[in-house]
A and B are shown apart, each in its own frame.
Chain A
Amino acid sequence: MLLIALGIGVLAVVVSAILGPKKASRAKLMAYESGNDPEGGVGTGQRFPVHFYLVAMLFIVFDIETAFFYPLAVAYQKLIPFAFFEALTFVLLLLVGYYYILRKGVLEWA
């Protein structure tokens, strides 16, 4: 399936690359910066706001947490009530971290 899907994508690109006209000009190929001359480019150390890194890290942490939750959820009914307390402890510990980032203002987007 993945192959087919990607195949379609590639096909489309190739076809249009063949069929499409090629009349490039500097102005056309200039990156859009509201008319200013563009500067920088890929990998020329553009700085991202550090906030995005924070979000990424939080995502990693919480996503792993979700990943831990899935097996528990699937096996849940075979393990009650033990699994419930397990999950409770887990979530509580998670909430500690959540409270921390909350108070730290990581989730504030000014």
Chain B
Amino acid sequence: MLQIPDVALAPMLPILIVLAGAVASTVLGFNLPRRALTIINLVMLVLSGVSMITLWNSGATAFGGGLQADNAAILLGLTILVGSIMTLLVSLDTAYRARVSFPEFDAMLMYAITGTLLIAFSGDLIVMLIGLEIMSLSGYVLATLQASRRAEESGLKYFLLGAVGSAILIYGIAFVYGATGSLTYAGIAAKASGLTPANVGILVGGSLLLLAGFAFKVALAPFHQWTPDVYSGAPTSVSLFLSTVVKVAAFAGMLRVFGGALADAPGWSSVLQILTAATLIIGNTAALFQRNFKRMLAYSAVAHTGFLAMCLLGTPQAGGAALGYYLLVYTLMTAAALAVVAALQRDEMGMEIDDLRGLYYRHPAYAVALAVCLASLAGLPPFAGFFGKYLAFQAAFQNGYVWISVLAALTSVAALIYYLRPGMLMFMPDRTPAREYPNGQRTPTNFAVVLGVLGVTVLGILPNIWYGWVQNPEIWKFLAGR
């Protein structure tokens, strides 16, 4: 009865490497300066990326499918790593200014990344849950780490709402388990069809609870209220992390669960489309009225959550491909934009939109970079954001959600407007003295910015570089594992 689980190290390797980095920064933090730790962690992240690439097409699994390193996991994992690397690069400069320059900062960051990778590699609701919690708990700490009223407050809000979200999620897991009697994605997917009516009811309830829980995590309206406060209250490098990597991971989880395990479970998609519509409307309209640039970006993150959720409405094949592409692009452009903010801000409140006036004549490079990011966020070709949006529209459209596509099109007009204002203000000459931090230009931050901008541009002109990998429907067919 007690059989020993199959422990295969290979599929775990990417995660273990990151974990090693986390442990290293926990232990060595007392002896090494923080920058050294950050560099170690950067190396670790790169190593883990390499190990992922070596796993390509291997389809290795461990723990009886509880952990699966299929291509989907690897693609999502690479996206996560890109975001994480950019975060570390930015934090390398700004952590001290943000007064979070402890070794704990790096440690927590790495733990969170471990969790995110666990989600991406999960083949089992429990593994997914563990990853999600590691990620969230570290996230709470990160948001609170800075000793300031704003940070603590954002941390508390993040924590309370995140905890509620997890509780709902766990309850949903319990119900899904109750309905199907299995916790592995494959088992659920196998049992999801052909249940007794009672169990179908339980399954629908469970999937809806799961949806609500995930909605908390990815900030789908109406569960998005924490997002602007947290993103604008936390230190910029942290909100960079939260708004890119954490969101990517949460969507990876949603993709695994809803695209894989519950793919043919009834009910959730109709609710999801309503949530998506609400998110699109609320996020975009609310962002219109923001004065603070960082807060505006926070709301735009909510809006983009809507677009990302549109991908989930598509069939797993089309939607997965769209999500895979969009997530990377979203990470690149958001991270780059926030990196510029981190470099230019005077304090952690970021900057007011009006402070950007005439930036082009003070920091031309940053202004152009920021403009590119904003254009990409607004979905203007030739930048990658356009293709991301296009894919999202297509995914929803082809699966019959025409009205969502039209709604998204209309709301992204609003999006364009609020991206346009700062983007254009930067190029308007003005005489007033500069309002940004004078000597914020540091090499690592610039590197992150360049990475983001180049990535967005190149992926926009030649989308196939990434989409060619993502688009293969075989990848997304077995999200639940075989």
Direct contact of A and B (CB under 8 A): yes
Q: Is A90 an interface residue (CB 8 A)?
A: no
Q: Most B CB atoms within 10 A — which of A75, A79, A97, A100?
A: A100
Q: B26 contacts A96, CB within 8 Å?
A: yes
Chain A nearest Cβ from B79, distance in angstroms: 27
Interface size class of A (residues with CB under 8 A): 10 to 19
Q: Is B147 an interface residue (CB 8 A)?
A: no
Please give, as numbers and ranges, the residues of chain B lying within 8 Å of A82 by CB-CB distance.
4, 7
Q: B2 contacts A79, CB within 8 Å?
A: yes
Q: A103 contacts B30, CB within 8 Å?
A: yes
Q: Is B416 an interface residue (CB 8 A)?
A: no
- Alpha-carbon distance between A51 and B101 when the two chains are bound, in angstroms: 24
Please give, as numbers and ranges, the residues of chain B lying within 8 Å of A96 by CB-CB distance.
23, 26-27
Which A residue sits closest to B7, measured CB to CB? A82
Size of interface on B: residues with Cβ below 8 Å to A: 7
Majority SS of interface residues in chain A?
A: helix
- Alpha-carbon distance between A69 and B2 when the two chains are bound, in angstroms: 16
Chain B nearest Cβ from A73, distance in angstroms: 14
- Alpha-carbon distance between A99 and B26 when the two chains are bound, in angstroms: 9
* Cross-chain contact of B2 among A75, A99, A100, A103 (Cβ < 8 A): A75
Please give, as numbers and ranges, the residues of chain A lying within 8 Å of B27 by CB-CB distance.
96, 99-100
Please give, as numbers and ranges, the residues of chain A lying within 8 Å of B30 by CB-CB distance.
103
Chain B nearest Cβ from A63, distance in angstroms: 18
Please give, as numbers and ranges, the residues of chain B lying within 8 Å of A100 by CB-CB distance.
26-27
Q: Is A78 an interface residue (CB 8 A)?
A: yes
Q: B23 contacts A78, CB within 8 Å?
A: no
- Alpha-carbon distance between A97 and B104 when the two chains are bound, in angstroms: 12
Bitwise interface map of B from 396 to 415 toward A, beta carbon under 8 Å scored 1, else 0: 00000000000000000000
Bitwise interface map of B from 13 to 30 toward A, beta carbon under 8 Å scored 1, else 0: 000000000010011001
Please give, as numbers and ranges, the residues of chain A lying within 8 Å of B2 by CB-CB distance.
75, 78-79
Chain B nearest Cβ from A30, distance in angstroms: 39
Chain B nearest Cβ from A97, distance in angstroms: 8
Which A residue sits closest to B22, measured CB to CB? A96
Residues of B within 8 A of A (CB): 2, 4, 7, 23, 26-27, 30
Given contact pairs A79-B2, A97-B26, a sample of 13 additional A-B residue pairs in the complex whose CB atoms are under 8 Å apart = A75-B2, A78-B2, A79-B4, A82-B4, A82-B7, A93-B23, A96-B23, A96-B26, A96-B27, A99-B27, A100-B26, A100-B27, A103-B30
A-B contact list, 15 entries, CB within 8 Å = A75-B2, A78-B2, A79-B2, A79-B4, A82-B4, A82-B7, A93-B23, A96-B23, A96-B26, A96-B27, A97-B26, A99-B27, A100-B26, A100-B27, A103-B30
